[in-house]
Amino acid sequence: ERSSLIVNFCIVLKQTIFSIFSFFSPETSQGKDPGVESTCFGRACNPRMGNLAQGRVLSTQSVCGANSSEPYCFYKQTAAPRRRESCSAAKCSKCSSAIPSQAHPPSAMSDSSFRYPDTWWQSAEGVKKETLQLDLETEFLFTHLILVFRSPRPAAMVLERSQDHGHTWKTLRYFARDCEEVFGLAEGTSDGESGATCTSKYSGRQLCPCQAKHPDAAVLPTDHYAIYDFIVKGSCLCNGHADHCVHGKCVCRHNTAGDHCERCAPLYNDQPWQAANECKCNGHAKRRQTGGVCNDCRHNTEGRHCQNCKKGFFRDPSRPKTAPDSCKRMLQDRQAASLTVQRGSDLLFVFSAAA
């Protein structure tokens, strides 16, 4: 039955965890004119997010009309489902891979939804289990997957990834109308082995409401899967050292090298990482914004890197700049006879004579 179908979405993803590192060295980016400004200069940078499925091979187990012309029918809902007039009669057509206007190949799922809004992939009629597989040539940062169904959504789906080019697979997420019945998992619980959880949020619509209202639907060829868009959101994995990439290979900055900027360029030494609040917020902030601007400076400090004392406070030359008590309050006692502040080259002198 349609309610017991499982669709496997198999995506070759070699990396799903991404760390951002900040850099503040003033070196010139490799391969670029020093006069050309880069978003990587003096900071961490990453390529823009995009659809990783575009321009890559998306394969399926079946395609309608692969061997010969194949008839199919579908129902279209034209208004709110509570209205009687919302459902029209079934519309029928033919699909054939040999005729471009009737072809519905897997590549239709990854084309531009703006330029080609009416293209879709469709499985062969009567298929009970289907697999969609996207092959990626290298490691990528994967954020989320978007599927836009033309047919009713399957009752169950599995999202998997491979880190060895399809030899072995690991489950990322389960989807089912009834998680316990299909996968033996309670809603929201993990399988223990891979840590993947199950949700019923995106499953359960076995039949189109219009299809259920027509008694002749059972004899029509409506038993197929169809998807408008298969969108895999993500970007190249460049470890914070590149703002763009070519065919999955990062154009590295910060004197780094490698497909993912994972090592230092020749003649450059690696340096140990330090927490951002230790290296650029002078120990006075717990978090910072993109671009190296410190948020919520503490210990009576202010400035882009919490490098200055607030108004009414002065830097104690006997204390390190990173010390919590390095900014001392200026004496403002009403009984003070005088308060004189003088600046030298590096030191702040404060003189006070109390009455």
Q: What residues does CATH 2.60.120.260 cover in the chain? A: 2-155+204-236
pLDDT tens per residue across all 355 residues of the chain = 333 333 333 333 333 222 222 222 223 334 444 334 568 888 889 999 999 888 888 899 999 999 999 999 987 765 555 555 566 778 899 999 999 999 999 999 998 888 888 899 999 999 888 999 988 888 888 888 889 989 888 888 999 888 888 888 888 889 888 899 888 999 888 887 778 899 988 876 556 667 667 777 778 898 899 999 999 999 999 999 999 998 889 999 999 999 999 988 888 876 654 433 344 788 888 765 545 678 888 899 988 888 899 988 888 888 888 888 999 887 644 333 333 333 333 333 333 333 3
pLDDT at 295: 80
Side-chain half-sphere exposure of 270, counting CA atoms within 13 A: 8
pLDDT at 17: 27
Q: How far apart are CA 75 and CA 183, in angstroms?
A: 30
pLDDT at 272: 57
CATH architecture of the domain 276-354 equals Ribbon (2.10)
Q: Taking a C-beta distance cutoff of 8 angstroms, is the pair 250, 259 a contact? A: yes
pLDDT at 289: 56
pLDDT at 101: 93
CATH number for the segment(s) 2-155+204-236:
2.60.120.260
DSSP β-ladder status, 6-11 and 129-134: parallel
CB count in 10 Å sphere of residue 330:
14
Q: List beta partners, residue 176.
A: 156
Nearest to 202 by CA among 175, 226, 181: 175
Q: What residues does CATH 2.10.25 cover in the chain? A: 276-354
pLDDT at 90: 84
